[in-house]
Structure 1
Amino acid sequence: MAHPIPPLNALRAFEVTARLGTLARAAEELCVTASAVGHQVKNLEDWLGLPLFLTEHGIRRLTPEGERLAQQLGDAFGQINLACRAIGRRAAARELHINVTPTFAIRWLVPRLGKFQALNPGVAVHIATSARPIDFARDDVYAAILFGSGEWPGMTADLLFMEDVFPVCHPKLLKGKSALKKPEDLAGQTLLHTYHRRSDWARWLGAAGVPKSTVDPAHGQTFDLTTMAIDAAEAGLGIAITREVQVSDALASGRLAAPFRRDLLRGEGCYFVTRPDHRNDASVAAFRDWLIAEAGSAPSGSAAAE
């Protein structure tokens, strides 16, 4: 006799909410409303007879039971995903599945993708975007464009470019009595953060020698995506912290300005990371070679995004 299980929609809604952290991000992945996700999570809690989340000071956190269930459901849905993909994947090796951050896709990759397709008309590129850490086994991607030190255990990584992290703002903030002339002038200004890169301001201010007592690195507004923070900076809502290629066009056109030295925070690289079993696939190799060539033609001293 089969044992009853909770509704699959409720299990899925809970797993995505636990993984992404908020109902809004879960709703975006599931293509439903945040309210619908909340109802599904509540249905699961009612079915189990215990809470899976607690809200403290406005922050939603998993309970110990929620953490255990989230881990087990993540593994289970990952196995289901892999099984379905293994059955449904076409035999043609001319498909390319890669994962990139949303900002990199919007501001660097997609505007250039037509060049790759013109050179490789037989390769069907499937791009998935995510700002969260990639699980190659669960997500079943062949490659990803990632930022970091270049060390991902069990993966191969090819450096595309090194990158500096620096603030950008509307040019009007460089004028007047309160003009930004030195990093300490950020005191009292609105710092624009990105959810998955909340440490960037603290790291940059530390590199600039600005103590927390002068400029609070946690102060300001937070956005889900770096591209949203950049748009807010262009609108004059504050100062974003970003990377060269994300804003090269806006800097060149004068829509944004870099008020300080760009080389204070250095050392992060942009890498094309592949699973070893896909590294020599024809489509992966073609895309890697094209990326390296495109990165080499980027403006001197610049690199990639998110």
Structure 2
Amino acid sequence: MTAVHGSDHRRPGAQINAGLKKTELRPDSMERLLPLNALRVFAAVGRLASFSRAAKEINVTASAVSHQMRTLENYLGVPLLHRTGSRIELTNAGKLYLQQVQEGLAQLARATRAIKAAKSERTLRISCAPSLSALWLMRRIGRFTEAHPHIGLALTASRNLVDLHNGEYDLAIRYGRGVHEGFRCDLMSPNELFPVCSPRLVRGERPLRQPSDLRHHALLECADGEYYDAANPGWHGWLQSAGVYDVSSQRYLNFSPRLLMQQAAIDGLGVGLSRTLLAADFLESRQLVCPFGPVLELTSSYYLVCPAATADRPEIAAFRNWLIAEAQESRARLKLPAAKSR
């Protein structure tokens, strides 16, 4: 012990002081000591070459700007500005330092924006019936992402029922009656059933003027089970409502999924039965027409479903409001014969 102390020619406590100085030079300690407000003031003064304009920009007094500049120069130990009357010029050290400070502040601003954006961004995981996804939702989903750029979407088209309580999905768009205990179920729009076909068939060799004219055309059906509901009719129920009883079963063509059936109708292969939202865009573009009624009101429709506990989350509420508004607008734009209750 004595030999060690005897070999140190510095005054007592020198080792402790040296250790403190070494600690003060660590980068994290330097960052804590940086006069960040003064750096912000210097960036404004250097860019504007004026104390008064810098003070106005950052909403402080000119004397406060002068004080911050003195603080920064004392901290650095070098002058950053030449002051000649009201004129301000950067020294060579000031010019070099200004460039570095501006780059550093810009990097801080970018990092701050990124953190805030990441905090505010939410991804909604949505399960949707395949037909509605393909024939209606995907045609307008871009409007939601444009209006809500910080809400991400992960959309899955599936007929399978999903567990909305296990966190895999936030929302489901499902066809049915909209009665599920413990869930909020919002009706997207009323739902009707009606015949659709290509405009070519309406004015073709065997024109479609009334329901009995269906005897001369193929009837297009969809057998994918997505819309099974004992209370909702297919062709059999619709023909009964129309008072037509002598259409041969040999005139039926079956397709799965529904997207194929609707495309077959567009291509003029026959007459299909469609529903409000599934046909909306195609009727508006005149790829399909509804040649005649009856238009049948259905007891089942599309519902947006989510757990009641999460229904008021801002991103879920935003999607719900947008979806219902889009669906109701689509329904309002349709020009169909008057609907008939069953």
Query: Contact 2:129–2:175 (CA<8 Å) still a contact in 1?
Result: no
Aligned residue for 1:47? none
Query: Contact 1:226–1:242 (CA<8 Å) still a contact in 2?
Result: no
Mapped pair 1:276 → 2:308? yes
Shift of 1:188: 4.5
Q: How does 1:217-228 map to 2 (within 5 A)?
A: 220-228=252-260
Query: Contact 2:165–2:307 (CA<8 Å) still a contact in 1?
Result: no
Q: Aligned equivalents of 1:169 and 1:119: distance in 2?
A: 35
TM-score between the two structures when normalised by the length of structure 2: 0.54
Aligned residue for 1:205? 239
Q: Aligned equivalents of 2:250 and 2:319: distance in 1?
A: 38
SS at match of 1:179: coil
Unaligned runs of 5+ in 2: 1-118, 336-342
Shift of 1:92: 8.6
Aligned residue for 2:288? 256
Aligned residue for 2:318? 286
Query: Contact 1:101–1:131 (CA<8 Å) still a contact in 2?
Result: yes
Q: Aligned equivalents of 1:169 and 1:162: distance in 2?
A: 22
Query: Contact 2:277–2:327 (CA<8 Å) still a contact in 1?
Result: no
Aligned residue for 1:127? 155
Aligned length in residues: 212
Shift of 1:202: 2.5
Shift of 1:139: 9.1
Mapped pair 1:173 → 2:166? no
Query: Contact 1:208–1:264 (CA<8 Å) still a contact in 2?
Result: no
Aligned residue for 2:129? 101
TM-score between the two structures when normalised by the length of structure 1: 0.60
After superposition, give the CA deviation of every residue in 1:247-281 in whole Å (9 maximum; x if it has no partner). 23332333222111252344433221112233222
Shift of 1:105: 1.3
What is the RMSD computed on CA atoms of the aligned residues?
A: 3.0
Of stretches 233-242 and 171-180 in structure 1, the one that deviates more from structure 2 is 171-180
Shift of 1:104: 1.2
Identity across aligned pairs (percent)? 31
Structure showing greater Rg: 2
Query: Contact 1:163–1:302 (CA<8 Å) still a contact in 2?
Result: no
SS at match of 1:141: coil
Aligned residue for 2:183? 155
Query: Contact 2:121–2:152 (CA<8 Å) still a contact in 1?
Result: no
Select the structure with the greater relative contact order (CA < 8 A; seq sep ≥ 6): 1
SS at match of 1:162: coil
Aligned residue for 1:43? none
Q: Aligned equivalents of 2:172 and 2:256: distance in 1?
A: 20
